[in-house]
Every structure is written in structure tokens, then in C-alpha cells.
Structure 1
Amino acid sequence: MTPVTGLPPAMADCKDDVTPMLSQYVELCEQHPDALVLFQVGDFYEAFCEAAEEVARVCEVTLTQREDSTGEYPMAGIPIDNAASYLERLVDADYRVALADQVEDAEQASGLVDRAVTRVITPGTVVEDELLAAGSTTYVASVVERETDDGERDGYGIAAVDASTGECFVTTVPTRGNVREELDRIQPNELLVAGDAPTVDPDGNWMETEIDAELFEREVARDRLSEYVADPDRRIDNDAEARACGAVLAYAEYTQGDDGPLEYVSRIRRHDHRDQLRLDAAAIRSLELFDNRGAGSRATVFGVLDETASALGRRCLDRWLRRPLVDRAEIEARLDAVDALVGDGIARSDLHDRLGEAYDLERLAGRISQERANARDLRALYATLSIVPELKELIADIPALSDHHARLDELRDVATLIDEAITTDPPMELTEGGVIKQSFDNELDTLRTTEQDGREWVADLEAAERERTGIDSLSVGHNQVHGYYIEVTNPNLDQVPDDYTRRQTLKNAERFYTPELKEREDEIFGAADRADSLEYELFCDVRATVAAETDRIQTLASVIAELDALCSLAIAATKNDYVRPDLQAAAAEPSIEIHGGRHPVVETTQQEFVPNDTDLDAGGVAIITGPNMSGKSTYMRQVALCCLLAQTGSFVPAEAATLPVLDRIFTRVGASDDIAGGQSTFMREMSELTEILHDATDRSLVLLDEVGRGTSTADGLAIAQATTEFIHDELDALTLFATHYHGLTDLADERAGVHNLHFAATREGDDVTFLHRVAPGASSASYGIEVARMAGVPTPVVDRAREVVASTTGDASDSDAAADTADDAAGQPAADNDTTTDPTASAAADDALADALADQTLDAETVAAVAAELQEIDIATMTPLEALNTLDELRTTLER
């Protein structure tokens, strides 16, 4: 972001001559050169000059002109009462916004009202509820390169903090590639960098913020950490972690307007990437764990599993899915808990209902600790504490949840204090009374009694004065300017008693007060003002007492979050007919055995889903062939997801499953160009393949889909075969390899650990039916031309493609049909060494289709129109369904 603060150059040169208010604005802009300063003027946040132009453009508010002794300059403002929606627009536009509030009462100021920046709102440090989605996380992160004592580079320290919840963690990873992997897992909104910070891939979905390099210095960082943890060396593994953590904490303090530590960041956790199932960006994306470019935001793995009742549980489930376990005992413990809830429907339902009453304790604790919580926040905390005894009772007889039962702290002292002090339905404002309960404080009760007695006396005054004066139209009233008054209309002024003193003259009446009314007024207003002030003091004392228990509140929040996540997994398992997986013994060679496996997301989007078995021995490589759209990619993903869900602690979509504990899942599935990074589809494919071949182990699962398709047929087949041989011979990784290179299936005869699977289809005439059923052996055809016809490619193109295939490979259609008929009749696939089909028939069909398209005669205007539309298409972001629909539209254009 280019800073847009301060005055235009012409005015900046003479800023000493501008008005005091504008000079104050400029000083604040200079103190925050990387932010857009919004300056409180009464009920509005105002921006001036360049900043005003940006606010007007982004927030779509009117750009006005302000005129003073310096001349005219732009001004734009947003109402403070409705600031959240405008601030959200500015943050979404990647602006940092510094809020300069009036920190002095305008009525008591002798001159210019004092203002100061109280908050800096950035994408990574948002804490306002109005700007945060329920259950979301908002991280600011930093990366520091680690050096050994002799100056050698030795990995990277990474730290992240969520300023809205106080969650803070650090980790160390060995390589630059691992840095990107960890950042993809964290998904920070903001990344802090300094002049010598290590370069991170530029295509991350975060804002980069350059901060003072001093904040990354070793001693500065360790001094800051010592304010958060008693012994940093016990909690932080190395200097790189300490420097990264110190920097993010310093930045969080700066944005929250605090001069000292953030009290609610009371625990700094260490993650070790070796203690979790590793998932890089490619795996997270291709397995569609959190994002799906198809229809429906819930069409993701997280969306299927998310039956959480609270924001706490949603964040916990998100963390679990991003960091699956690798410790067998921890996985079994989580599965035991889910199993117990699956088996007890009443407890599960009641637990879910009670958890739905829990407020977001993590964010409440942050607001309370920062003195930003109002009375309603404290009542929300009380409401959550009120359900804890019920939660304990519900899980008391569930052995698998005994640890959670023991950690459920009812915080009775805190709950009692809040209930005794804070009214049941308090107002939003803290300074206008109505916050503290009667009988909580004797002095406050006395003041309220004095105020109430006085108001009752005033209420009775009108009747008494009418009787005393004989003026039936006399009335008693009150306004903010003149206080209490007795109003008498002009025709009755001759009846006004001598003790009336004139207070205000109106057109048709006069207003008076009496000495007794003035005395009562002073008593009422004095008591009310003192009561309001005392209420605020009492509330602050209560809030401070609660804030002292932040650590206990956060511990309780963690337990409630875990219970909610476990309950969510149990509900998803019951709702979707999942089964508990059996984990292999740690000493066993890793293998995968799944009966009736399903894809957890795809099955929810289709009326019927065909389950499939998987039997992959240790070090096994399965070569999977079959037509496009037959289910190869879905099958591979469902195997990976069953493994991933099991290590998350979830049941899996299958009839039965025996699974290993994997160390990593690799996916080379799908393809898209990295245009910004200068990588073609093939180059990106090879880069991802390189990482797999370097890092995979015998406890890794590797999914390869159409590797080598981005180059010539000969080169692609050679790369695919060499890759398969290397994985089999050197890595022993569990591997599923989907391909159209039928020649690759010959490896099953050459290597004991390689076997063939295929997805069959039947054809009647020109109609192809995909069976979506996996079976042993290699496929006898790919049906590329038939798929093109089904997608709507013009008939002349399809016919020409068939002619080319026939001339290249023989009568492919007849031989494919014969092979399919034989397969269906015998219930078995064609033999791996089937000689009726050329191993490169699929590639030949693709080439034939391309040639046929090139031969199609079209008028120049139509070609130009289609070409123009093609240039506008972003293929990398299209779903298969969107691509087919677009292809159909283009076909229609060509046939007109």
C-alpha cells in the first residue's frame, strides 16, 4: 500500500502555518506514516487532503471541501456510530487504519481537544467483533532465518499471533519450502518483514508489512518475551523463534494501542512440524479441505465435518484439520472420545445443545483483558459459565472424556461476582447508569435512593402547586439546558406566587423555579452524576477482577472448544454413516485397506455414489487407468481423505478401514499456470513432482494425476515411467498414479510392488456409461472422443477425430467396444498386455481431436468472436462443470 497520509506537498511545506487542528492531524500522520489516519471530530472520523480522497473512493462517501485560513482542501468523514462497515471496506482494500480518538472531554478542554491514536486496524490485527467472522482466525505472522554459532544458515523460525483471541505459537522449519508450507497452513492475514527478512513466495494471500528491523533483534525480542513468559528459554527453542515471536508481539501491542504486554496472550505454544501430518499448499488445495471453487461454500471437507455449535469449536476443528496428528496414542484418544459420543445419542444431542449457548470466550477474554469489554460482555461470560455445570454432568459418565471433565473449571467465584454486580440486561453504554445491580454497593444505593426520592417529589409537585396557586394549567417539566421548571401561561401570570423566580421566557408562557425546586434539582442531578460515575468505577473494578482470571477463562475456552469439535465429528460420523478406522500397529509396515470407501464431499453432492475398495500394500504403487470423468481423481482423493480424517481423529466414510499413521500426504493433482510467477502448467507440475521425489518417505502417501501430460507424448510417458520406477525402487511410498499412458501399465509385469487398477465403462453405439467402479487390471480404452462428444464438441469434429484415430491405430472404436464387451461378460478387466489397443491410443485420440478441430471450417467473424471470449476466460479458476458449460456455449456459437 502506498501511504496516503498528511497534507499535499504544497501545504506540507508550510504546515506550521496551518490551523491548530490540521497541524495536530499532520503530526499524527507523521507518527503513523504507514497508515491512513482517521481523526475524530465530534461524532465523525474525518480524513483530510489525500487521505480524504482515498476514504471517499473506498468508502463511497461524499468528498467535501473544508476552508480555513490556509485555503480549501478535501475532507471526507464516516460516522463513528456506524464506523465498522466503512473500516471493513478500508481493511479489505489492504489499508492500515489509525483511529485518532478524542482523549479529552471536549466540554472541559481549554483549547484544542487532545487526540491520540488509540488503535491501528490492520488485516492481521483486527479485534472488533463487527469486522470478524464468527469462529474465524486472524493471524499476523513473521519469519526469521536461523543462524548457528558459526554463522551457518540453519532453518527458519516462524511465529504467529491472533490479536482477537490471544493465541500465539512458534515453530522452526528446516527449509524455505517448509516456510511456505507452514504459512499455507496458518493462512496469516498479514506477514511482517524487515529489510533483511527472508523472501517468501509472493503469491500468498496476505499483506506484507515492513516494520522496524530493530524489533527483530535478539535482545529486543527476548526482553519483550520476558514480559509474557517467565523463562523464554524453556518455551522458545532458538533465537530465530524468539526474534520472530518478539516481532509479532511488538506489532500486536502497537496496533492495540498498548504500551505494555497484552495480558491475554498468556500462553505461547510451540509446534513441531514433525509432530503433525504435513500438508503443503498443493495438498490443502487439491483435497479441497477449506476451499472449493465449485458450487456451495460448504462443499469442502471442513464444511462436511463442521457441525460445531460455537465459534470456539469451529476454530478448534479448523486447527485440527490443518494439523492432523501423528502420535498414535493421541489419535486413538480422540477417536475414543468420538466413538463414545457416536454411541450415546442422548448425550451427544444434549451436549451439542448446551455448547450452542457458549459465547466466544477467547475473544471475550481478550476484550476484558484490554478493558474494552462492556457490561453485556460480562453477562455473556456469565451465561457461558452457567452451562459449565451442565457440561460436566453430561460427560461425567463417559470415560473417554474424563480429562475434559477434570479440566472444566466452573469459575464459580467469577460467575458469582458478575451475577451479583451486573444487571441482567445492561445497556451498551457504561457511563449512563443502569449497569450495577441494586444492593451491590451501599453508597450507590444511597445515591440512587436520593435521586429517586427527588424525582418522585418533582412528580408530585405539579398537583401540589396547582392546588396552592389555583392555576389549573400549571405544569412542571424538565429540559437539558434549564433543568426543572414550573411553567405558567401568560393569562395566569398575575396568580404567580412571590417565591417563584423567573427562569425562562417563552412566547406564550413563563418558566419559574422555587428555592425548594432548585434544591431538589441540585440533589437529583448531583446524586445522578455521582451515581453514574460510581457505577463506572465499580464496573471497572469488577472487570479488572475478572481480567485477573484470564488464564483460567482461556483454559476453559480450550476445553469447551475441544468438546464442541469432538461433538461435531461425532455428529458428522452419525449423519454421514462413517466408521471408526483401525490404526495399524506402529511397528507394522504401512499399508492401506479400505472397504467401501467414499469421498466425504462428493457423496454429499450426488444422489448416488459408488463406493470402492482400496488395498495398497507397503511400498505399493497402483497405476490407475480409465476414461476421463470415470472417477480416477475422486478415488485417489477419497483414499487420501480417509487417511487424513483418521489422523484428525474423525471417523471415515467407509464400511471398514485399516490405515497407517502417515507422515505426509503429497498431491500432484490438477494443473494450472502460475502466470505471475512465470511458471507454465508443466513447469509447476515438475516443481511439485520434484518436491515429492525429494521428500517422500515410506510413510508418505503420494497421489499423482496425469504426470507428464504437459509435454509431448513420448517425453510425458518417459517422465511418468521414470517417476514410477523411482518411487517404487527408492522411496517405497504408498502411491496412487492415475494416467492415460497405457504403456505405463507394463510396469506391473516388471516390478512386484506395482499393480494396475482401472475404471471401466460400457458403450452402446455412441453412448458411454461410466460405472465409477474400480477393478484390478488395466483399462482397454480412454474414450476421449466420446467424452468430447458428450461435452458438446460439434459432430463434424468428433467424426473427423474418429477417422484420424482409425487411420493411426486401426479401427479403435471396434476394438475398444469388443474389449469392453469381453470385460463386462467376464466381470474382469482386459489383460494388462492387451494387444488389441495401442498403448498410445489415448494420446492418438487427443491428437486426432485437435487435428479435427483445426480442420473445422468456420467463418472468420465467428472465429474472432470465440477467440475473444476465450481470452477472457480464467481457466485456472474454473470448475469442471463451469468449463463444460462454457465449452457448450462456445460450441453453440460455432454451430450458428
Structure 2
Amino acid sequence: MSAVTGPPAELAERRDELTPMLQQYVDRCAEHDDALVLFRVGDFYKTFCGIAEEVARLCELTLIEREDSTGTYAAAGIPVDNAAEYIERLLDAGHRVAVADQVEDPSEASGIVERAVTQIITPGTVVDDELLSPDSTYVAAVVGADADTGDAPAYAVASVDVSTGECRVAPAADRAGAREEVARVGPAELISGPGTPEVDPDCPVTDWDDDAFAVDAARATLAEYADPDRFAAVEARAVGGLLAYAEYTQGDDGSLEYVSRVRRYDPADCLRLDAAALRSLELFENRAGGDREGDTLFETVNETVCALGRRRLASWLRRPLVDRAAIEGRLDAVGELSTRTLLREELRDELRAAYDLERLVSRVSRERANARDLRSVARTLSIVPNLKAALADAESDRLGRLRDDLDELRETRELIERAIAADPPQEITEGGVIADGFDEELDEVRSTEREGRAWVADLEQQERERTGIDNLEVGHNQVHGYYIEVTDSHLDSVPDEYRRRQTLKNSERFVTPELRRREDEILGAAERADALEYDVFREVRAEVAEAADRLQGVADDLADLDALLSLSTVAVGPDFCRPTFHDGDEALEIEAGRHPVVARAQAEFVPNDADLPAGGVALITGPNMSGKSTYMRQVGLIAVLAQAGGFVPARSASLPVLDRVFTRVGASDDIAGGQSTFMREMSELTDILHDATEDSLVLLDEVGRGTSTADGLAIARAATEFLHDEVGARTLFATHYHDLTALADEREGVFNLHFTAIRDGDDVTFLHRVDDGPSSSSYGVEVARMAGVPDSVVERSRELVEATDGHERAPAASTAPAATDGAGTADGESEAASDSSTPPGQQTLPGTEPEGAAADGADALAAELRELDLARTTPLEALNRLQELQDRVTDR
């Protein structure tokens, strides 16, 4: 946290000399020394001294000076009515914000008004509508098990959305699993507790009290929300400590009663997608970092009509199913809705009227809901009978269960409709909130007030007739109350019972004993009505809060229905089909598959087939820009969308149920973390080789390009062999190492694919069509020319390519005959092999041939390479052997 938090030193050092208000400010800052305190003074949240300077700078406010008997202090104020905009800036700057509100009525305070921190706002615990997006906002915690006790699992990841009450906890067997689950949750804030591993979250990290994560304290906290015995020790510590933090952020009352369902889940129960897969497949964020609508899978398939459904659809894409029956259940519902157009549109029209019931319930439970919020609850409940009626003849089991589960909560809806005015004001303390006829006592008080106001309304005409003063007026202001105003020209006609109240320039204002009595009666009735309305409203709100659990159940059902409708709306689009699933021993087959995001953005998109047998490895070669990466991603996205329960962009799709999708796509580095692009690539490859199974889908793009040709090709070959021989995962591997294509002759499950192109002189046309066999060229020079590289560079590149054509060779090249249509042709292989002056794995450019190379040394190295049993060599052994051979060449 920033150094500006805590009490300003210049105030804290002389606290006892300060005014009572500043003393209170110092005390609130000391109590919350990890946050920036906004201190309510009138219509502003004030800050002072160094904190004021920081707030003024970040919020672009004018810094003023506050002077009192104890000194002059810098001050900055944020208007209460527009606080959210400024608080958001403070959060973006990395601050936690503690809001110190007035907690007693200034008119009733005997001295200085008491202020207390009512809310601590952090990036992961925002609850105000002005600061929330429609998407889920999670705060998460990762806790490691106590090594001394041998607890299992090793880690636990807990998350809670304070705005909705959604709370989950998952076990993780190791640090990689914990890191993967944090990436899947995508928290806005991560809480660091004891044993928290390095998980590299893309969010702020907050240190929290270790004592809250102690097993006894955490279980005691958790017991307020769920049975702690349902959770392993490390899980209870993670979720209990996190809930304690969430309670702390809600201020003095710390109410989280609406968190009534703490759910434990196993990441293995869904299709696992780590951070690399989420990023590479662009499920929720496009890799370019833009925010253009439709650039992600989520935005492409998001046709939801309410916030509940939007969050549910995102959750389904983050955690696709692995239970085949559950997948088929969703697909049945999506299929039925896609064919019943009238039903689909009727349901969508009804759901458009649904408010964000999850967040409404949380506000009701925290006693922060106003009258309009309650009317929104009632309006949402009012659509439930219509939804149930529309689903009366639904045939799929999933839709039938939704119909039966939807709870009308008739008594809650009727209570709100009877109690709350049809169009209530925003404020709940200023009257007009409770409907007439709901509370007898309130009706009597209101009747008294109305009768008094009616008497006053008639008074003007009566007095004009009685006094003969035709311009006499009856009025009211906040200072003097009710009055009778007479111009100076008619003062002689004023009756004796008039009592002068105020003298103006050209008139006098009077009051009569009866008008004074009526005024007291009206004002007294109004004050009593306002106070009584507030009490009645709180009683109604409390009664609604008692139904919080049932209301959350309705929110769940509405969210599911909207998500299913979204997927069905997408399913009726062109070129979408229902996927079929098999047990996994058959091939992954996609006919005329399309990338769901790219195909929607482009007027013309070339569909492609995919036929990937169990354990098969497809080596994909072809020109740059030909569509290799798009093709691999579209296979991954089709699998993810299908297991989420959606129809997919293809003519047909027969798929296995995958356990994980791994990606190693694109180049990026982590300079702050000390990782180069190549190290980052190797780290991702390591995770794949360790964790992939025969039920996984692996997408590799240009493995080994971050180092020398010899090293890179060796790593790429060894990794490919390992995936084929040891793992058995379905693998798509796009590469420019044409030597790798020879593996298809050595491994039964390895085969070649390539993307086609047509050369016409210096021009190249990419057909974006996948075909069998290896590619004939990478067309790198042509792509460089198309990109605008200077002609002289392009021409020199062509000369070098022509001079070195056929001389490319690497130490891991296959001893089997090479394909005759690739860049490494059979003739080229023979020519390279005969050139003993060229070190293995390196290209010899014109004018750079080594002189007097030691033929005997080259022969010895070649002999050793021929003796290597690559089929039985692990990737690590291959790298170590390669390093040894390279060192010997370097030493010579």
C-alpha cells in the first residue's frame, strides 16, 4: 500500500491539540492504517495534509487550506454525490479506500457527529453499482497446507464475489495447479496468506492477517456460512481467512449473511484451461490487448439479455464440463431452444425485464437496498410465472428441471408490491416510500398531514374574501414556515389577529394562531410520517432478506436459462451444428470447421477439416500468414465451446471429452520476472510435457524458435516424440522446421498437414486451406516483401536462400528418407550430408564456408548421432546430449 495511508504525521504527533473533528479523523486513519480514509464532512469526503495532496493529484482536485485555532492544514474534498468516480481513480492507483461516514443524526448529536468506517473498498470487494461491471468481481486467496501436519491437498484456492455472494473453494495438488486455478478465476484482487505460493496473478496482491488463516480461527469464521467439517483443513483455512477479509471490508457490521452457499469443487471436474490457454485461445481477452466487441470467444457467443446470464455464460466458458451426460443435457436444451423460435424469443423477451437479482439480494441482506431495489426484486419475480408457463411443454430434461425449480416467491413479491410505492424516491428517509393502505398508523399520520395542507391551500381564498385584500397570498419557506403576505398598500385592512412574522421591502408577512397551530400539526405529522415510513421500510426489507436463499435460487435458474438461450441463439446462425461425443478412442473429427471469432469478423472465411486420431500428432507446415495458428485455435475453441454445452461452427463435429487444452502459442517475455521469451516458451512447454494426458488436446506453435536452429530443432523433435511416445495426447504442432516432417515416416501416429499457397512470379496467394503432406516452402521472403521490407533487402534475401537451398540440416534430422516436396528435399539432404565442412544443424551462407574443417571430427560426431536411439531418449536426455555435443564442437 502507498505511504500516504495511516494518519498524517503532522496531525498524529499533536493529536491532543487538534479540534475534536481532526482528532476523530486521526483516530479513523489510525484504525485503518492500510487504507486511505475518506472522512465525511457535510457534503464532502475530506482528506488532510499529505493524504490530501495525494488525493488532489490523483483525482485532479483543487488543494485548499483549512484553518482553525490549531493551525492551517492542506485539505482536499470529494463530493459525496459523485464519490464513485473519484474512488475508482484511487483504486486504479493501487489504494484501498476506507469510507468514514456519519453514523448519527447531526441534529441529535450532543457534540461532534460520530463517524465510523462503514466500508473498505478494494479492487476485489467493490459492491457499489457505480464501481461494478456486469461481470463477476472476485477476491481470491491461496493458502498452502501446513507441511508439518502433512495435510492434503497441498494448496487451496478460495474466491468470493462480495457483490453477489458467490463463494467457492478448490483444492490444488501443487503450485502449478494453484497458479492455474487463480488464472481461471481471474480475481481482481489476491489475498496473500500463510504458504501462499508464487502464482503471478494479473491483479493487486494484498497482505492479510496470518491469524485469520489459522485453522481454528478460519473454521470459526467459516462456521457462520457453512459446515466447516465438509472441507479439508487447507480448504477451510483458505475460505475462512478470505471470508474474514471480506467481512472486514464491509465496515463495522461486517455483514455477509447472503453468502449462504460456500461451494467446494474439484478443478478436475471441468475442462482445465490454464493461463496460457485462456490467453492464447482469447476466451475473454484478445491477445492484442484491445477491447473491440467480438474479439473474444465470450463476446462472440454472448447473446444474453440480463447480467445474471452474462456472468453464468462466462462461468461456463471458464469451466467447461467433462461429464458427458451433463454436456449432452445442455446440448439437448440448446437444441430444443434453437428449433423453437417462438419459445426462444418469448423467453428472451421475459428475461429482458430481469434485474440483477444476485446483487439486489446482497444489498437487501446488507441493509443497503433502497425502495427502488425492492421494486426491482418484485419486478424480476413477476416474470417467473410467465417463464414457467412458457416452459410448460419443454421436452428436454434441463429445461424441465428449470421449469420445476423456478420459485415464484409469491408472498415476497406481493409483500413488496403492497408495501412499496409504485415509483418510490431514491432516498428512503424523505417520505413517499411506503404505499398508501399498507400501514394503518402511517395512513393516519399522513391523513393528518394531508388535511392540514388542504386547510392551508384553502386559506388564501378564504382570507381574501374575509379581509377584502385581493392580492393576499399564503406561502411557505424553510426558514419562517407558513405565512400570509400583504402588500404595504393594504396594511390598513389587516385583521387584528394577524401577527407580524417578517418585514419585506414592499410587503409584510403575518401569521395567525390557527395557521401556527396547523403548521405545527403539518410539520409534526410530516416528521412522524418520515420516521414511521423508514421504520416500516426497514421491516419490509428485513422480511425480504429472510427469503435471500430462495431468491438466490431464482437468480441461479434465471442465469442458467439466459445462458442456454444465448447458446441457442448462436446455434441458429449459419454453419453451426450440434457436436457429438464419443468415448475417446475414436478420432477428433471436424468437417468444415470455422474459427468462431475470425469467421464472424470476415466476410469470407475458408473452412477446414480436422481429423486427429487418438494419440495422433499432426505436424503443420506452410507459409507465414497462411492460417496455421488460426486453424489450431479454431480446433481448440470448438472443443471448449462444445464442452461448455454449445453448438459449434462446423458442418459436423465428432469429439472426445477432453480433460485439458494446452497451448504454446505466440511469443512473450516476462522481464520483471526474469524470463526471456525463450525461457517463457520453455516453461509453458514444461507444463505441457508434465501434465498432459492421453485425453488432452495440445496446441503447439513454433516450439524452439527462440534459440539456435540446432537447439530449437532438437527440442522440437524431442518434445514431439515425447508427446507421441509417452503422453499420447492429441497434438497439433505448427512449425517451420521442415526436418520434423520426416517423423511421419518413423512414427505411426505422426502425420503431416500443410497450408496451401500459389506462387505467381514474386506474388504469393495464400489459400488458407489445409491439405495432407508437408509444405513445399515457407515463403518467408515473399511475406517480407508484402510487409514492405526494402527491395534491396528482399533481393539479397533471395540470393542467400537460393545459394543455401538444400543445405539446411540439424542434428535431430531423421535418418529416414525425407519428403520430396518440402524445403528439406531428398536431394537437399544428400547434398547437405556430403558437405563435411558444415557443422551439423547450421546453415552455410555464401562466403561463410569454414576453411579446413576437421573431417575426422565431423565423422565422429556423425557416428555418435547415428548411434543415438531417439525413440528411447527423453526430452531432458536429448537436451543434455545435445549440449555435450555442442560443447565439443565449440571447444574445437
> Is the TM value for this pair above 0.5?
yes
- Is the 8 Å Cα contact of residues 777 and 822 (structure 2) preserved in structure 1? no
SS at match of 1:425: coil
1:449 aligns to 2:447 (yes or no): yes
Give the equivalent residue in structure 2 for 1:545.
543
Separation of aligned partners in 2, 1:367 and 1:11: 36
Give the counterpart of 1:209 among 197, 206, 209. 206
C-alpha distance after superposition, 1:44-99 (max 9, x if no partner) = 11001111111101111101111122322110001111111111111122211111
| Contact kept? 1:776, 1:829, Cα under 8 Å | no
Comparing 29-38 with 4-13, which one deviates more in the overlay?
Answer: 4-13
Equivalent position of 1:82 in the other structure: 82
1:589 to 585, 596, 600: 585
Cross-structure match for 2:577: 579
1:353 Cα deviation from its structure 2 partner: 1.5
Q: Cα deviations across residues 718-755 of structure 1 (Å, max 9, x unaligned)?
A: 11111111111111110111111111011111111111
Structure 1 counterpart of 2:273, from 258, 276, 279: 279
**Who is 1:32 aligned against?**
32
Task: Summarize the alignment of residues 260-409 of structure 1 with structure 2, pairs less than 5 Å apart.
Answer: 261-294=255-288, 296-400=292-396, 401-409=399-407
Alpha carbons 1:800, 1:849 under 8 Å: kept: no
Separation of aligned partners in 1, 2:296 and 2:844: 34
3-state SS of 2:383 partner: helix
> Relative to structure 2, which stretch is displaced further, 347-356 or 491-500?
491-500
Question: For 1:97-137, what per-residue CA distance to the aligned partner results, in whole angstroms no more than 9, with x for missing partners?
Answer: 11111111112222111111111111110000011112x11
- Tell me how far 1:492 sits from its aligned partner: 2.4
**Match for residue 535 of structure 1 among 518, 528, 533:** 533
SS at match of 2:663: strand
CA distance in 2, matches of 1:317, 1:43: 41
Q: CA deviation at 1:576?
A: 4.3
- After the TM superposition, which of the residue ranges 593-602 and 489-498 deviates more from structure 2? 489-498
Using the alignment, how far apart are the partners of 2:196 and 2:79 within structure 1?
A: 41
| Residue 439 (structure 1) shift | 1.1
Measured against aligned partners, the alpha-carbon deviations of 1:442-492 in whole angstroms (never above 9, x if no partner) come to 222222121111111111111111222222222111111111111122232
What residue is the counterpart of 2:814 in the other structure? none
User: 1:835 and 2:829 equivalent?
Assistant: no
Structure 2 unpaired stretches of 5+: 809-818, 833-837, 848-892
Which digits, 9 at most, give the CA deviation of each residue in 1:685-730, with x for residues without a partner? Answer: 1111111111111001111111111111111111111111111111
Which residue number in structure 1 is paired with residue 417 of structure 2? 419
Question: Which residue matches 1:434?
Answer: 432
In 2, are the aligned partners of 1:742 and 1:839 still within 8 Å (CA)?
no
Identify if the C-alpha distance between structure 1 residues 778 and 810 changes in structure 2 by more than 3 Å, giving closer, same or farther.
Answer: closer
Query: Could you tell me which residue of structure 2 aligns to residue 21 of structure 1?
Result: 21
Q: 1:751 to 1:43 in 2, by over 3 A?
A: same
1:712 to 703, 708, 713: 708
Q: Which residue of 2 aligns with 1:220?
A: 217
CA distance in 1, matches of 2:388, 2:8: 63
- 3-state SS of paired residue (1:790): helix
Task: Identify which range, 148-157 or 322-331, moves more after superposition.
Answer: 148-157
Trace 1:21-60 onto structure 2 (pairs within 5 A). Answer: 21-60=21-60
Change (3 A) 1:564 1:729: same
- Could you tell me how far apart the structure 1 residues matched to 2:325 and 2:806 are? 58
Task: Report deviation, 1:775.
Answer: 0.8
Given residue 187 of structure 1, which amino acid in structure 2 is its aligned partner? G
User: Secondary structure at 2:736's aligned position in 1?
Assistant: coil
Q: Is the 8 A contact 2:743 2:750 kept in 1?
A: yes
Whichever residue aligns with residue 358 of structure 1, its letter is: A
Tell me the SS of whatever aligns to 1:773.
strand
Distance 1:777 1:833, change over 3 A: farther
CA–CA separation in structure 2 for the residues paired with 1:297 and 1:94: 27
2:152 aligned with 1:156: no
1:746–1:833 contact (8 Å) kept in structure 2 = no
Contact 1:227–1:261, Cα closer than 8 Å, also in 2: no
| Structure 2 residue aligned with 1:822 | none
Establish whether residue 71 from structure 1 lines up as the match of residue 68 from structure 2.
Answer: no
Tell me which moved more, 718-727 or 463-472: 463-472
Distance in 2, matches of 1:347 and 1:451, equals: 51
RMSD: 2.2
Match of 1:824 in 2: none
Alignment partners' CA distance in 2, 1:321 and 1:429? 39
1:259 aligns with 2:250: no
Q: Compared with structure 1, are the counterparts of its residues 627 and 838 closer, same or farther at alpha carbon in structure 2 (3 Å cutoff)?
A: farther
Which AA in structure 1 matches 2:173? P
The CA distance in 2 between the partners of 1:674 and 1:782, in whole Å, is: 29
**One-letter identity of the residue aligned with 2:257:** E
Aligned to 1:200: 198
Distance in 2 separating the partners of 1:242 and 1:833: 59
1:222-241 matches, cutoff 5 A: 222-229=219-226, 231-234=227-230, 236=231, 238-241=232-235
In structure 2, do the counterparts of structure 1 residues 11 and 25 end up closer, same or farther at CA, with 3 Å as the change threshold? closer
> Distance between the aligned counterparts of 1:438 and 1:698, measured in 2?
68
Quote the Cα distance in structure 2 between the aligned partners of 1:784 and 1:475.
91
The AA in structure 2 aligned to 1:465 is: E
SS of alignment partner, residue 687 of structure 2: helix
Deviations 1:178-223 (A, max 9, x none): 11111111111111124x4323234x22111112211111111111
Q: Distance in 2 between matches of 1:97 and 1:8?
A: 15
Which residue of 1 is the match for residue 857 of structure 2?
Answer: none
Measure, in 1, the Cα distance between the counterparts of 2:682 and 2:459: 91
Contact preservation (8 Å) 2:627, 2:768: yes
Amino acid corresponding to residue 200 of structure 1 in structure 2? E
> Secondary structure at 2:145's aligned position in 1?
strand
Separation in 2, partners of 1:849, 1:790: 26
Distance (whole Å) between structure 2 residues aligned to residue 344 and residue 850 of structure 1: 66
What's 2:182 paired with? Answer: 183
Check if 1:776 corresponds to 2:772. Answer: yes
SS of the aligned residue for 1:147 comes to coil
User: Per-residue CA shift, 1:337-392, capped at 9, x if unaligned?
Assistant: 10111111111111111111110000000001111011110111111111111111
The residue type equivalent to 1:596 in the other structure is: A
What SS class does the counterpart of residue 770 from structure 1 fall into? strand
Amino acid at match of 1:160: S
Partner deviation per Cα, 1:650-708 (whole Å, 9 max, x = no partner):
11111001000011011011111111111111111111111111111100111111111
The residue identity in structure 2 corresponding to 1:282 is A
Q: Aligned partners of 2:591, 2:166: CA distance in 1, in Å?
A: 40
Give the alignment partner of residue 568 of structure 1, picking from 557, 566, 570: 566
CA contact (8 A) 2:116 2:252 kept: no
Cα distance, 1:168 vs. partner?
Answer: 0.4
Unpaired stretches in structure 1, ≥5 consecutive residues: 813-827, 853-896
Distance in structure 2 (CA, Å) of the matches to 1:633 and 1:406? 45
Instruction: Report the Cα distance in structure 1 between the residues aligned to 2:526 and 2:149, rounded to whole angstroms.
Output: 70
Relative to structure 1, the CA distance from residue 601 to residue 433 in structure 2 (aligned partners, 3 Å threshold; closer, same or farther) is same
What corresponds to 1:823 in structure 2?
none
User: 1:104 is matched with which residue?
Assistant: 104
Deviates more, 1:483-492 or 1:336-345: 483-492
Separation in 1, partners of 2:685, 2:245:
38
Deviation sequence 1:822-872 (CA, Å, 0-9, x none)? xxxxxx99489843566999x99x9999999xxxxxxxxxxxxxxxxxxxx
Residue in structure 2 matched with residue 894 of structure 1 by the alignment: none
CA distance in 1, matches of 2:823, 2:271: 35
Q: How does 1:101-140 map to 2 (within 5 A)?
A: 101-134=101-134, 136-140=135-139
Going from structure 1 to structure 2, the CA distance change for 1:42 and 1:666 (only over 3 Å counts) comes to same
Conserved 8 A contact 2:501-2:510: yes
**1:506, CA displacement in angstroms?**
2.3
Partner amino acid, structure 1, of 2:515:
L
Evaluate the alpha carbon distance shift between residue 153 and residue 538 of structure 1 in structure 2; reply closer, same or farther with a 3 A threshold.
closer
Distance 2:445 2:151 in 1: 71
Structure 2 match to 1:244: 238
